[in-house]
Amino acid sequence: MVRPVAHVSSIRPAKGLADAPIPLSSAQLRIWFSEQLHPGNGAYVIAMGYRLSGPLDFDAMTRSFSELVTRHEPLRTTFGVSNDGIPFQAIAPATHALPSVVDLRELSEEKREIPLRISEEMRRPTDLNLEPAFRASVYRLSLSENILLLLIHHIACDGWSVPVLLRELGLLYEGEVSGERATLPALPIRYADFALWQSDWLKSHEAARQLAYWQHQLSGGAVLALPLDRPRPSVQTFHAARTELALPNGLSRALIELGNREHCTLFMVILAALAVLLHQYSGQTDIMIGTPVANRNRPELEGLVGVFINTLVLRIDLSHDVVWRQLLRHVFDVCLDAYDHQDFPFEKLVGHLRLERDVSRAPLFQVLITFRDSPVQELVLPGLSVVPMPLDADTTKYDLRIVVDALETVTLTAEYNIELFEASTAERMLEHLRRLLEDMAADVSHSLSGVPRPKGCDAGSI
C-alpha cells in the first residue's frame, strides 16, 4: 500500500535535450556506481524467459522489438563519463533491434544444454559504456518450439516497468502478425525528462523538507547484528539462494481479517512480525527494515519504462513492552510517514547522512521486505502458447530479503546471502516468522514480552 501524496508537480518535456549531456537519475547513478565497484554484478539484471509453442513469426518479432526500443529510450541508452568525471546517459538513435538467434535444431536434447546456455547469457556482463541495457535472444528448438530470453539491466528498467514492456510487446507483435499495426498512446514525457526534472526537484523546498524528515527519523540508527553462520566477508558479496513457506489458508485469512479490524494493510501486519523476529534474533530494539516503492505517483510516469523505484527505510521501535495491537499502530504510523516522504531518493539520503563507509554490507539496513499482491503480467503472443520459464539469478543485494506473495494465500520467500547463512537458518527463520504471525492472529492483545523467543536463534557468529 502506498498512500498518494499531495505534493506532486507535473513533469514537462525538457527543451534542448539533444544539445547537452543528459544527467543520470538518482537511481541510475546508484546503480552506475555499483557497477563500477562490482562490474558485471548479476544482482542488477532483470531476466525473463518464455517457452513459445507454435509458429513464431521472426520478422514480426524483430519489428516488434524495434518498435519497443524506439518507443522507450532507456532500452537504447548507453552511459559515459564526461571530462569532469561526471557520468551521463547517451540515447542512441532508433535502430533496427535484432534479437540474437541461437539455432539448436540440429543438436540432440542433451547437447542443447539449454539451462547452461541461458545461465551463461544471464551472467554475461553488459558494458554500459558500449552496449544498451536491453538484449533479447531466441533459442530455436524446432519449427514450432522456441525459447525467448529477455535480459534488461536494472539501470534501464525496474520491476514496475516489466508489465509495461510485456503488454506492449504483445500488442506490437499482434499488430505485426495481423497486418494492422498497433497504435500505442504517445508517451507524455521521456525518461530523460524525468532525470532532468528530478535534478531540479532536489533543489526545491519540498526536497529539503523530506530530507529533514529522513535525517531526523534515521539519526543514530544502529547496524542490525543478526547472528550469522559464517563470518561476514570484508567486501559485500551477492550470491544468494531462496527458500519459501506457504502459510495455511486459515492463517492467511486470519491475517487479512486482522489487518481489516486494526485498519492496517497485510504488508503492515507482516512487517510488524518481521520486526519482532529480527529483534528476537539480534537482541536489538531499534530495527530498520527497507522496502521498495514504485515512486510513480505522477500520471505521466505510469507508462514509461525506466528505473523510478525508490527504497524507504522503516524504523521500528521495540524498546517498550507493548501488545501486538500497539505495535501495529506504531508500524502504521511509521509506514504512512515514510510514504509521505517517499520522493527523496534513498541514494541521496545515504550521502547526506554521512555514514561511515562499510563495503561489507548495504547501507542503513540489511533486511528488505517486498510485498506483491498483483498477478504477474503475462506475455501474450497471438498464435503461440507462451509458458514462463523460472529463471533464478542467484543474486541478492542484501543479507536477507523477505518476499511476501499475497494472492489467494500468503507465501513467504526468504532470499538470503549464502556467504552468511545456511539454508537451514533461512528455513528456521521463516518458520519462526510463521509462529509470530500465528500468535498475533490468535490474540492481538498479547504482550510481546510473552512471545516465546525461538530456540537456537542466537547460534552462529556475528
What pLDDT, on the 0 to 100 scale, is given for residue 84? 85
Q: What global pTM score does this model have?
A: 0.91
What pLDDT, on the 0 to 100 scale, is given for residue 384? 97
Cα–Cα distances in angstroms (integers) from residue 174 to residues 55, 69, 169, 412, in the given order: 13, 17, 8, 36
Task: Please determine, for residue 93, whether its predicted confidence score (pLDDT) is greater than 90.
Answer: no
The answer to whether 197 and 428 have CB atoms below 8 angstroms apart is: no
Angle at which helices 423-442 and 266-282 pack, to 10 degrees? 120
From 84-98, 234-248, 372-386, the region with the lowest mean pLDDT: 84-98
* Mean pLDDT value across residues 169-197: 94
Task: Please determine, for residue 421, whether its predicted confidence score (pLDDT) is greater than 80.
Answer: yes
Strands (E), 231-338: 240-246, 286-293, 310-317
Which cell numbers hold the place of 254? 486470519
Fold match, 17-193 / 206-450 = yes
CA distance 172 to 187: 15
* Mean pLDDT value across residues 418-428: 96
From 7-16, 25-34, 150-159, the region with the lowest mean pLDDT: 7-16
What pLDDT, on the 0 to 100 scale, is given for residue 1? 42
What pLDDT, on the 0 to 100 scale, is given for residue 43? 77
* More confident position, 462 or 112: 112
- Asked whether the CA dihedral 107, 109, 113, 118 is positive or negative, the reply is positive
CA distance 352 to 346: 10
Neighbours of 452 (CB within 10 A): 10
Task: Please determine, for residue 462, whether its predicted confidence score (pLDDT) is greater than 50.
Answer: no
From 81-90, 280-289, 341-350, the region with the lowest mean pLDDT: 81-90
Fold entry, domain 17-193: Chloramphenicol Acetyltransferase (3.30.559)
Span 350-393, pLDDT tens digits: 989 988 888 889 999 999 999 998 888 899 999 999 999 988 76
Span 216-237, pLDDT tens digits: 999 998 899 999 999 999 988 8
What pLDDT, on the 0 to 100 scale, is given for residue 150? 96
What pLDDT, on the 0 to 100 scale, is given for residue 18? 59
CA distance 60 to 18: 31
* Mean pLDDT value across residues 271-295: 96
Return the percent helix, strand and coil in the chain, to nearest 5: 40, 20, 40
- Asked whether the CA dihedral 223, 225, 229, 234 is positive or negative, the reply is positive
Mean pLDDT of the chain: 91
What pLDDT, on the 0 to 100 scale, is given for residue 10? 80
Task: Please determine, for residue 17, whether its predicted confidence score (pLDDT) is greater than 50.
Answer: yes
Angle at which helices 205-218 and 346-353 pack, to 10 degrees? 60
- 3-state SS track over 64-108: HHHHHHHHCHHHHEEEEECCCCCEEEEECCCCCCCCEEEECCCCC
Domain extents in the chain = 17-193, 206-450
What pLDDT, on the 0 to 100 scale, is given for residue 355? 84
Task: Please determine, for residue 4, whether its predicted confidence score (pLDDT) is greater than 50.
Answer: no
Q: Cell 510487446 identifies what position?
A: 169
Span 160-171, pLDDT tens digits: 999 999 999 999
Span 301-325, pLDDT tens digits: 999 999 999 999 999 999 999 999 9
User: pLDDT above 90 covers what percent of the chain?
Assistant: 71
The C-alpha torsion from 383 through 387 and 388 to 389, rounded to 10°, is -130
Query: What's the CATH number for 206-450?
Result: 3.30.559.30
